[in-house]
Copies of this chain bind each other. A is one copy, B any other.
Amino acid sequence: MLEYAEPVTKLIDEFKRLPGIGSKSAQRLAFHIMRLPEADVERLIDALQEVKRKIRLCSECNNLTDVDPCRFCSSPTRDRSIICVVEEPYNLVAIEKTRSYRGLYHVLHGSLSPVRGIGPEMLRLDNLLARLKPENNQGVKVKEVILATNPTTEGEATAIYLSHLLKPLGVRTTRIAMGMPVGSDLEYVDEVTMDKALANRHEI
């Protein structure tokens, strides 16, 4: 006997397609939805529709935005001479939270991965190169590009590729530091991080 009615199975299947949601969670979510007041489900549906209707990529930095250019690219208080390159739109939040970065961003929407067949042509690089020309950057010359791709094989490969691409154009290219996370313990750190922490040691 089919355990669930067909609309229930369908909803569970849809939830299962979402990232990080397995069979059990999908089931729990579907049962939760069935118990929610109609108005709450309507609100969820509205939010889904609104995001699809209003959100696009910023034509300058590829960040997800409801206005083009995005709030960063159009802000008069951000320093247009520094661009921080990240892999994904949500990576930007980690940097904004420090409240110490005042430059602009550039979102690649991915990282190089020969294993998964992702080459440079699949990253959003065209408008990054365009922005280096002052005439495309409100007359401001970009002085530095910070490569803040993830400290993974893919992120590292992407950073190296970008540095080879950018340096010949005369722009200073930097990479975020890798080392011991603040508040961590030497006892538990992995050897690759420890190695980076040693190699990147500096005078105090």
Q: With A2-B71, A55-B34 as given contacts, are A48 and B45 in contact (CB-CB < 8 Å)?
A: yes
Q: Tell me if A192 is interfacial: C-beta within 8 Å of chain B.
A: no
Chain B residue at minimum C-beta to C-beta distance from A72: B1
Shortest Cβ gap from A61 to chain B (Å): 13
Check if A116 is an interface residue, CB within 8 A of chain B: no
Say whether chain A's binding surface is mostly helix, strand, loop, or mixed: helix
The proximity string for A residues 18-46 relative to B, scoring 1 for CB distances below 8 Å and 0 otherwise, is 11100001011111111000101101110
What B residues does A201 contact at CB under 8 A?
none
Count class of interface residues, chain A: 35 or more
Q: Measured between alpha carbons, how far is A92 from B2 in the docked complex, in Å?
A: 12
Asked whether A14 and B54 contact (CB < 8 A) given A2-B71, A66-B7, the answer is no
Judged by a CB distance under 8 angstroms, whether A49 is at the interface is yes
Asked if B54 contacts A48 (CB within 8 A), the reply is: no
Q: Is residue A179 within 8 Å, beta carbon to beta carbon, of the partner chain?
A: no
Q: Are A32 and B19 touching (Cβ within 8 A)?
A: yes
Q: CB distance A47 to B7 under 8 Å?
A: yes
Q: Is the CB of A96 within 8 A of B30?
A: no
Report which A residues bind B (CB closer than 8 A). Answer: 1-8, 10-11, 13-14, 17-20, 25, 27-34, 38, 40-41, 43-45, 47-55, 64-67, 70-72, 75, 88-90, 92-93, 96
Q: What 12 additional pairs, Cβ within 8 angstroms, besides A31-B88, A33-B48?
A: A1-B72, A3-B93, A4-B64, A5-B55, A5-B64, A7-B53, A8-B55, A10-B47, A19-B29, A31-B90, A45-B45, A45-B48
Q: Can you list 9 contacts pairing A with B, beta carbon distance less than 8 Å?
A: A4-B64, A10-B51, A11-B50, A17-B40, A20-B25, A28-B90, A30-B51, A34-B52, A34-B64
